[in-house]
Amino acid sequence: MSDVKKVVLAYSGGLDTSIILKWLQTHYNCEVVPFTADLGQGEELGPARKKAEMMGCKEIFVEDLREEFVRDFVFPMFRANALYEGVYLLGTSIARPLIAKRQIEIARQTGADAVCHGATGKGNDQVRFELTYYALEPGIRVIAPWREWEMKSRTDLIDFAEKHQIPVPKDKRGEAPFSVDANLLHSSSEGKVLEDPWREPPEYVFQRTLSPEEAPDVPVSVEIGFERGDAVSIDGKRLSPAELLTKLNELGKANGIGRLDLVENRFVGMKSRGIYETPGGTILMTAHRAMESITLDRGAAHLKDDLMPRYAELVYYGFWFSPEREMLQAAVDKSQEHVEGTVRLKLYKGNVIVTGRQSDASLYSESLVTFEDDAGAYDQKDAQGFIKLNALRLRTLAARRKRLGQ
């Protein structure tokens, strides 16, 4: 295994990736460059660096990527209103291409000839990581330990850790009740107690939201400002992308917003059950669609809705750096040129309720839709010819059925 000289590892500092780090050192006899990305997962990342230093790593990267994550990945996706299978806000899916992109950049910077991730051979993440690796560096060597090593159980991992003097916290010795992935957009929980889709998830599974039952009995009003399809302010205060999503997360959590219990179709072919919490994203999605409702032309809006499932599927499958996603993004971004203004929302016990929207670029005309005198803005007699022309083919079909006695 000496053909690998240096590998950049996507490293969380947790038990599994610490075991992977040591396994790379012993199995490949290579130098390991750990890379830890702060995407807003809410964990202290200092210990990850210290643990990597204790394991003999010389080059260690711990980076705050929260602003880049929201600005360059989350916001472009939200311009498309992307929902996988109609409901999933793609919180895990959208994080992987950023981590993988940065791994490739670090590999170039450090002269590494391989990259490594800790995704299992059953999940979607292995695909997302590796499609990004190859899209950005076609000749890179990819190491996927869960597809290579002989360890098959938690006991095997603990035994390996103890053999190589990797500290194993007491709470990591037993089987975890479920697995968690988190970033600034969402948290996801899967496995173990959640594998039976009939069983209601225990309340202790939820980490980022109050239950709607526990949320305050008084609604909260919030105004979100938009420019070119991106949220830029809350209640008139301009915020950076990461600051804005953080604030929306706080509001969503306190009001029981953003829970999703989903059985989804994985790219690798199986169905899986996941519990997702996306408090700020749920608010943002509702606000963005409300802003589009008065600023997007009907044809553009309906075309966007036609394209959205394809866009969401590309993100879910891991094709962020594909030409088709970039083509769709160009179309989406063109549609957002005049998506600007303010949306007012009411947050109440798990609900996000639109109560107002205004924009200098609005296409909404009170003079056209009023039930009162429109002062000649719309001649209702014009509708007769419009309807007859649209009914022509239907009348022709009906005449044929009548002629044939059908």
User: Is 179 considered catalytic here?
Assistant: yes
Q: Which of 38, 125, 181, 230 is catalytic?
A: 125
CA-CA distances (angstroms) from residue 320 to 7, 73, 293?
23, 9, 27
Amino acid found at 258: G
Q: Three-class SS of residue 132?
A: helix
* Catalytic residue (choose from 66, 96, 128, 208): 96
Contacts of 72 (CB under 8 A, 6+ apart): 98
Answer yes or no: 96 catalytic.
yes
* Active-site residue identified among 179, 233, 359, 362: 179
- Supply φ then ψ for residue 333, to 5 degrees: -65, -35
**16 annotated active-site:** yes
Structure letter (DSSP) for residue 10: E
What is the C-alpha separation between 228 and 246, in angstroms, rounded? 20
Query: Has 125 been annotated as catalytic?
Result: yes
Distance CA 330, CA 16 (A): 39
Q: Tokens 């916001």 — which residue?
A: 75
Structure tokens, 321: 């750096």
Distances (CA, A) of 317 to 37, 186, 215, 377: 21, 18, 35, 48
Element (H, E) at 77: helix 75-79
Neighbouring-strand partners of residue 348:
351
Active site residues: 16, 96, 125, 179
